């Protein structure tokens, strides 16, 4: 799913029991520390930009002509009203260094023979999950399912991948759903429409100045 760098176009649908909202966006990434997300629609959100640099996140709000740095106290709040948090944007890149990984079994998930792997936080890691369980398809090395657990060892949310397609020469899941287990009827759905791997891009692209200029 990842490369040294990438450019992605996707749609994100936020589904609640009483309303649904859809957004389209472009994402530039330099793994594992840099990402820039530009909202292309709907019109009221167009031009909104989120910048991730290592463990820090900023938002550019064109309507207010302001760059806002997300303080640590707001990292667990929803990103753009979705079931993803600001912390998800930062922490997804640090699962290798923040967790100890162990194969705890093998299971079939959605027709894929998978390794079942438990991620346990390292003592010094400032993470919110007591553990993460992920299933990795043996033949594809993709994740059809990830479960996130709280301090009481309950599943808080599930991340489900499907719709295998070839994009830019790689087989990847192009449909993703983040489903909170404690909020019936809620989920966030992402569909990749385009992805390019190993694009030419460097750290200077991911700047506060570029947040205001990107299109």
Query: Residues 106-147: pLDDT tens digits?
Result: 999 999 999 999 999 998 887 888 999 999 999 999 999 999
Cα angle, residue 151 at apex, residues 150 and 152 outer, rounded to 5°: 90
In the chain, which ranges are continuous DSSP H helix?
Answer: 86-91, 95-98, 208-211
Give me the chain's average pLDDT, please.
Answer: 91
Classified by CATH at the fold level, domain 5-211 comes out as outer membrane lipoprotein receptor (LolB), chain A (2.50.20)
DSSP conformation letters of 134-188: EEEETTT---SEEEEE-TTS-EEEEEEEEEEEEETTEEEEEEEEEEETTSTT-EE
For the segment 166-185, the average pLDDT, to the nearest whole number, is 95
For the segment 155-173, the average pLDDT, to the nearest whole number, is 96
**pLDDT recorded at residue 54:** 84
**pLDDT recorded at residue 167:** 96
Does residue 72 carry a pLDDT above 90? no
For the segment 175-183, the average pLDDT, to the nearest whole number, is 94
Long-range contacts, 28-32 (Cβ 8 Å, 24+): 28/199, 28/201, 28/205, 28/206, 29/5, 30/4, 30/5, 30/201, 30/202, 30/203, 30/205, 30/206, 31/2, 31/3, 31/4, 31/5, 31/6, 31/93, 32/2, 32/93, 32/94, 32/96
**pLDDT recorded at residue 91:** 59
**pLDDT recorded at residue 97:** 84
In this structure, of 95-104, 168-177, 193-202, the range with the lowest mean pLDDT score is 95-104
8 by DSSP, 3-state: which? strand
For the segment 57-78, the average pLDDT, to the nearest whole number, is 86
**pLDDT recorded at residue 124:** 83
Does residue 202 carry a pLDDT above 80? yes
More confident residue, 78 or 191: 191
For the segment 45-65, the average pLDDT, to the nearest whole number, is 90
More confident residue, 207 or 71: 207
**pLDDT recorded at residue 95:** 82
**pLDDT recorded at residue 93:** 54
**pLDDT recorded at residue 87:** 74
**pLDDT recorded at residue 92:** 61
């Amino acid at each position: 799913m990842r490369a040294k760098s990438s450019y992605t176009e996707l749609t994100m649908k936020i589904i609640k029991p009483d309303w649904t909202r859809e957004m389209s966006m472009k994402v530039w990434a330099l793994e594992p520390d840099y990402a820039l997300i530009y909202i292309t629609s709907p019109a009221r959100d167009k031009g909104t930009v989120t910048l991730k640099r290592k463990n820090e996140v900023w938002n550019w709000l064109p309507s207010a002509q302001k760059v806002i740095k997300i303080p640590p106290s707001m990292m667990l709040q929803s990103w753009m009203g979705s079931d993803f948090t600001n912390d998800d944007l930062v922490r997804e890149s640090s699962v290798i260094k923040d967790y100890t990984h162990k194969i705890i079994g093998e299971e079939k998930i959605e027709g894929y023979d998978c390794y079942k792997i438990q991620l346990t936080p390292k003592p010094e890691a400032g993470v919110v999950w007591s553990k993460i369980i992920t299933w990795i398809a043996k033949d594809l090395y993709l994740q059809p399912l990830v479960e996130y657990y709280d301090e009481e060892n309950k599943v808080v949310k599930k991340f489900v991948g499907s719709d295998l397609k070839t994009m830019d020469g790689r087989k990847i899941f192009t449909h993703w759903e983040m489903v909170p287990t404690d909020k019936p009827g809620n989920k966030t759905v992402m569909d990749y429409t385009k992805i390019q791997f190993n694009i030419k891009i460097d750290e200077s692209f991911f700047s506060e100045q570029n947040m205001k200029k990107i299109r």
